[in-house]
């Protein structure tokens, strides 16, 4: 049952407003009208968002609840970079180069933005207190060389959070492309294959995907609201919703320090400080089943995971990836995957997305061990230096 209106809390003036030290939403919207509104899509829903404190086993009222019917054409809810934005990015890239800053050392302090800083503050706010998903379009991939793209992309991300290592090699700039990997291999991450992956969430506050090259066919992004998924499951099978609020074993996909366990535990749905959060039930839980010391799924877990996966697929929207598109997702309120795809034969045209993993210590409250673990630190292995490779090959 929906929470009654007297229980609803306005976001303005809330704890988050103080935490983020962001301007009042109405004022922020007014500022936007001073910009080129003809080309700025309306991605901001946070200014009208309402939520109620989330309580286990009750329907969740959260701005990140949305369904297929709530999204129209992607251009209507995305932000389109303007020529003026391109110029601002080019100037910031030039400053980074002029000051001899390495790509992996790009930070907010050395990547100066003005008008775009306001836009990125709103993107972050939309991820935190809105839909949990923002599309940006027309990133200047044709104007910039690969290094400038990497600098500008990392620079934009630095206005939303701290970059994190995404793999055992310490990459803070990830390359999502088909490296010929086998998705079923316990030590292979799905992003290195072209298989249709299970819906999942990445282990960080925000994931960004910048499309450099699209696939010949297929490869669409699929995204669902985990709030919507939870509410549907609760309505249909509260007994299984309860199971999904309990711990599941997950594989670290072999990315651990010597002596560390190759798995960890985490619930799929969590309730912390009145906030709902979710993680995926992707390949990591199935891969853990192959590890010694991990108990096998109970019959209730099998049933719960099956219902969860079916419900996510029922709730998901398909979003195409065009070169220059950036998709930002809050992993704790969305689930994502992509369609299987057919690639171009030429190496230079192959589907290629650049990925960012961003940590926001003031992000959505999640379980403490999750925040202090991989979701807050990334794949942080001892002795591995962070790097931002401009490309990776099959041997990487
Ligand atoms: Fe992912």
- What average pLDDT score do residues 342-361 get? 91
Output the CA 208–ligand 1 centroid distance in Å. Answer: 10
Tokens 């298989």 correspond to 195
Between CA 207 and CA 330 the distance in angstroms is 7
Output the CA 329–ligand 1 centroid distance in Å. Answer: 10
Output the CA 116–ligand 1 centroid distance in Å. Answer: 26
- Helix, strand, coil shares of the chain, percent, nearest 5, are 35, 20, 45
- What does the pLDDT read at residue 40? 53
Output the CA 200–ligand 1 centroid distance in Å. Answer: 6
312 pairs with which residues across the strands? none
Output the CA 98–ligand 1 centroid distance in Å. Answer: 34
Burial readout 79-115 (b: 16 or more C-beta within 10 A, e: otherwise)? bbbbeebbebbeebbeebeeeebebbebebebbebee
- What average pLDDT score do residues 164-187 get? 81
- What average pLDDT score do residues 170-197 get? 77
Output the CA 106–ligand 1 centroid distance in Å. Answer: 23
Output the CA 87–ligand 1 centroid distance in Å. Answer: 31
Output the CA 191–ligand 1 centroid distance in Å. Answer: 7
Output the CA 336–ligand 1 centroid distance in Å. Answer: 6
Output the CA 25–ligand 1 centroid distance in Å. Answer: 30
Q: Domains of the chain by range and CATH?
A: 2-377 (3.60.130.10)
In order of 239, 240, 303, 372, 378, the CA distances from 245 in angstroms are 10, 9, 14, 19, 23
Between CA 150 and CA 106 the distance in angstroms is 10
Q: Which of 25-29, 204-208, 261-265 has the highest mean predicted lDDT (pLDDT)?
A: 204-208
- What average pLDDT score do residues 346-351 get? 86
pLDDT level of residue 138 (50, 70, 90 thresholds):
very high
- The encoded tokens of residue 340 equal 């299987």
Query: In this model, does residue 301 exceed pLDDT 60?
Result: yes
Query: In this model, does residue 28 exceed pLDDT 70?
Result: no
Query: In this model, does residue 203 exceed pLDDT 50?
Result: yes
């Amino acid at each position: 049952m929906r929470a009654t209106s007297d229980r609803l809390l306005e976001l303005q003036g809330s704890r988050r407003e103080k935490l983020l030290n962001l301007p009042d939403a109405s004022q922020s919207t007014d500022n936007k009208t001073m910009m080129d509104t003809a080309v700025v899509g309306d991605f901001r829903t946070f200014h009208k968002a309402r939520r109620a404190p989330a309580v286990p086993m009750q329907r969740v009222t959260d701005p990140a609840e949305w369904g297929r019917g709530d999204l129209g054409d992607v251009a209507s809810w995305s932000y389109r970079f303007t020529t003026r934005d391109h110029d601002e990015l080019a100037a910031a890239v030039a400053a980074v180069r002029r000051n001899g800053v390495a790509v992996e050392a790009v930070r907010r302090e050395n990547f100066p933005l003005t008008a775009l800083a306001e836009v990125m503050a709103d993107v972050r706010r939309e991820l935190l207190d809105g839909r949990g998903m923002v599309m940006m379009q027309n990133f200047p991939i044709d104007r910039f060389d690969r290094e400038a793209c990497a600098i500008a992309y990392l620079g934009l991300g630095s206005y939303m959070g701290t970059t994190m290592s995404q793999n055992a090699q310490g990459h803070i700039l990830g390359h999502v492309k088909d490296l010929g990997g086998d998705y079923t291999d316990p030590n292979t991450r799905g992003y290195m294959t072209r298989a249709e992956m299970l819906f999942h969430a990445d282990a960080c506050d925000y994931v960004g995907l910048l499309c450099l090259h699209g696939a010949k066919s297929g490869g669409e992004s699929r995204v669902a609201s985990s709030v919507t998924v939870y509410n549907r499951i609760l309505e249909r099978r509260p007994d299984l919703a309860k199971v999904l609020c309990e711990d599941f074993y997950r594989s670290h996909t072999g990315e651990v320090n010597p002596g560390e366990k190759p798995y960890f535990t985490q619930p799929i749905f969590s309730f912390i400080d009145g906030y709902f959060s979710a993680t995926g039930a992707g390949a990591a839980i199935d891969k853990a089943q192959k590890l010694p010391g991990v108990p096998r799924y109970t019959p209730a877990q099998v049933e719960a995971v099956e219902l969860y996966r079916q419900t996510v697929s029922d709730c998901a929207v398909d979003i195409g990836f065009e070169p220059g598109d950036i998709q930002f997702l809050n992993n704790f309120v969305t689930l994502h995957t992509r369609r299987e795809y057919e690639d171009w034969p030429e190496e230079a045209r192959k589907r290629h997305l650049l990925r960012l993993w961003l940590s926001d210590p003031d992000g959505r409250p999640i379980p403490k061990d999750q925040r202090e673990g991989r979701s807050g630190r990334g794949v942080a292995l001892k002795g591995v230096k962070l790097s931002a490779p401009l490309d990776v090959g099959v041997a990487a």
